[in-house]
Amino acid sequence: MKNKYLFGGAIIVVFLGVMIYLFTQTNVQYETNFDKVIASAKTVKATGSWVKERNYQIDKANNLFIFYMKDEYGKIMKVVYHGTIPNNFESSTSVVVTGKYGDGYFNATDILTKCPSKYQEQTVQNAGS
């Protein structure tokens, strides 16, 4: 009888340990200041806008997408993403990249783009009529 309780207790302790570990790994901060992104050693979500003047590069051989982002303070950061360009990247109003900064660039593991709302344009058109 005691073995059942010990076994059940061990399973609960292992389960709680795994849950705590997973929770600490998914605690990612949003940063709009690239100076804080560069200083952080943790995985962060950096928010900014694409610098269209610098264009972007696609390296199909190495599956790389490289572009530059600007934060709300005007600081520019190079972003390297291992993957393909998002479908709506060129029409985006802001970009959120997840990853870490190192070796002089931001190594992104995920890219989210925010595009202009089609409903916002309709509101402006209706207000003008």
Domain boundaries, the chain: 28-115
Q: What percent of the chain has pLDDT over 90?
A: 46
The string of pLDDT tens digits covering residues 10-23 is: 999 999 988 888 77
* Contacts by 64-71, CB closer than 8 A, 24 or more apart: 65/111, 69/34, 69/95, 69/97, 69/106, 71/32, 71/33, 71/34, 71/46, 71/47
Q: Is 116 a residue whose pLDDT tops 90?
A: no
The string of pLDDT tens digits covering residues 33-79 is: 899 888 888 889 999 999 999 889 999 999 999 999 999 999 999 99
Q: What is the pTM of this model?
A: 0.69
Homologous superfamily of 28-115: Nucleic acid-binding proteins (2.40.50.140)
